[in-house]
Amino acid sequence: MALVEDDRIKTPVPKPELLYEPLLDGVRVDKVIGVVSGKGGVGKSLVTSMLAVEARRLGKGTAILDADITGPSIPKSFGLTGFIEAQGESILPMKSRTGIQVVSTNFFLPEETEPVIWRGPILAGTVKQFWGETLWEDVDLMLVDMPPGTGDVPLTVFQSLPLAGIIIVTTPQELVSMIVKKAVNMAGQMDVPVLGIVENMASFTCPDCGKTHYLFGKSRVGEIAEAYGIQYAISLPMDPKVTELVDQGRIEEYESKPLAGLVKELV
């Protein structure tokens, strides 16, 4: 109990506690890492997918909980479609070609283009169900793809899942860098460490002349990482090959050496 003092009395005030959702009996998930962004359009889901791919290449039992309930894009990257199956009242995760386990709202919709028009409490409850009612199989590393910002769903993930830390995804623009600080501050308030920051679309190398161009301005990822004591700072270039593979549902064929190095440190 924390004590709040005034001039007359000492009033005991309960300290807020995290109420982690339990997993199903017999289910093992060793490490959970959230992937967050301050705003949309920075490639957060793509980075989540590539991190999972690199973890799987290391032979780790890997899973993705797609907590971006209203804008799920993880299934597209892996070419996963159709309805998810159940075992009794438990959800069976879909598996990618290499065995990455995925649960996403797209697997519960008649059409993948059907909008999910739900209010905050339902969104939060869905995340808890994905975590606690799924028969995850021997997961060494689970990545949670969160929606952008600091709203209901990210708050639910922070409070209800045993996060080992988060990875922040950003782009080089000054405005986005400012928004990154909001994500860092939210993690600090929730007592969750920031494990790394990934600057996506940092540069583009011309295939004709070989010159590297910084389309969104000078990189500031190292500066931000240093300011907040974040150990791992990664810059990813634009690569047309990534877009091609995602459109074809073949992201598992792509190799990212910078993210592979980060995953080795994390697992």
User: Helix 240-247 and helix 44-57: axis angle, to 10°?
Assistant: 80
Q: Distance (Å, rounded) from C-alpha 109 to C-alpha 89?
A: 18
- Residue 9 is predicted with a pLDDT of 41
pLDDT tens across the length of the chain (267 residues): 444 444 444 444 344 455 789 999 999 999 999 999 988 889 999 999 999 999 999 999 999 999 998 888 999 999 999 999 999 999 999 999 999 999 999 999 877 777 777 777 888 899 999 999 999 999 999 999 998 877 788 889 999 999 999 999 988 876 677 788 888 888 988 999 999 999 998 888 888 888 888 888 777 888 888 888 899 999 999 999 999 999 999 999 999 999 999 999 988
Burial call 233-247: b when 16+ CB within 10 Å, e when fewer: bbbbbbeeebeebbe
- pLDDT of amino acid 18: 59
Instruction: Say if residues 187 and 194 touch (Cβ distance below 8 Å).
Output: yes
Q: What is the DSSP string of 104-149?
A: -GGGGSSSTTS-----HHHHHHHHHHHHHSB---SEEEEEEEPPSS
Report CA dihedral (160, 225, 38, 170) to the nearest 10 degrees. Answer: -120
- In order of 77, 78, 153, 158, 225, the CA distances from 248 in angstroms are 7, 8, 29, 33, 34
No. of helices (H) and no. of strands (E), the chain: 8, 14
Write the DSSP symbol of residue 218.
S
Amino acid at 261: G
The domains of the chain, with CATH numbers, are 23-261 (3.40.50.300)
Q: What angle do CA 197, 267, 228 make, to 5 degrees?
A: 25
The encoded tokens of residue 8 equal 């007359």
